[in-house]
Amino acid sequence: MEAFLVSLSSVALAEMGDRTQLLSLLLAARYRRPWPILAGVLCATLANHALAGIIGVRLGRFLTPTVLDGAIGIGMVVMALWALKADSLEEGSDLTHRRGAFLATLVAFFLAEIGDKTQIATVALAAAYSNLFVVVAGTTTGMMIANLPAVFLGRAFAERLPLTTLRYAASLTFLLVGALFIYRALHH
């Protein structure tokens, strides 16, 4: 249960104001079809985070528990710093032109998520917990929790969100998780 809750909360908070959430807003404004957009987000996230989780679980098998906890702790502290940086979405790279809402979302969201902080967090969490299904379920649920209101409420939602406060909350979450893993590494 810990792996699921840490995965869910880390990604849900980190996704607030993230470029993929901004992409969801853009797609919602363009297509005004929330269900195909959400289906595309779900499928893209499952594929992306499953791949990230597989990499994380495999990496986790090659490291001792102390080294793994230390590396994950440091990685989460780095993620805390990264979460403080505001994301933007460049409209020049428009992958949604001439595509249906589902396909445009699937392709654009999958590509936008590559190398994103939530994907990297998924790698780290899967390495830490070695439970691919639970971690991917948690990170995907967190992604959906963050994107559901963005898709349904569109730009009005984005303008009312306290993004700076949410970035600080995400940063604090990553910092606390990082501190927990560093503590575990030092006390093995």
Task: Tell me the angle at which helices 34-61 and 101-113 cross, rounded to the nearest 10 degrees.
Answer: 30
| Domain boundaries of the chain, sorted by first residue | 2-87+100-186
**Closest among 134, 127, 140 to 56, alpha carbons compared:** 127
Determine the pLDDT at residue 93. Answer: 44
CB atoms within 10 A of CB 161: 15
Whole-model pTM: value is 0.76
Task: Tell me the angle at which helices 2-15 and 117-129 cross, rounded to the nearest 10 degrees.
Answer: 170
Mean pLDDT by 10 residues, the chain (188 residues): 93 84 82 91 97 93 84 82 67 52 92 87 92 96 93 68 72 85 89
How many angstroms separate the CA atoms of 58 and 113, rounded?
20
**Closest among 117, 89, 130, 102 to 44, alpha carbons compared:** 102
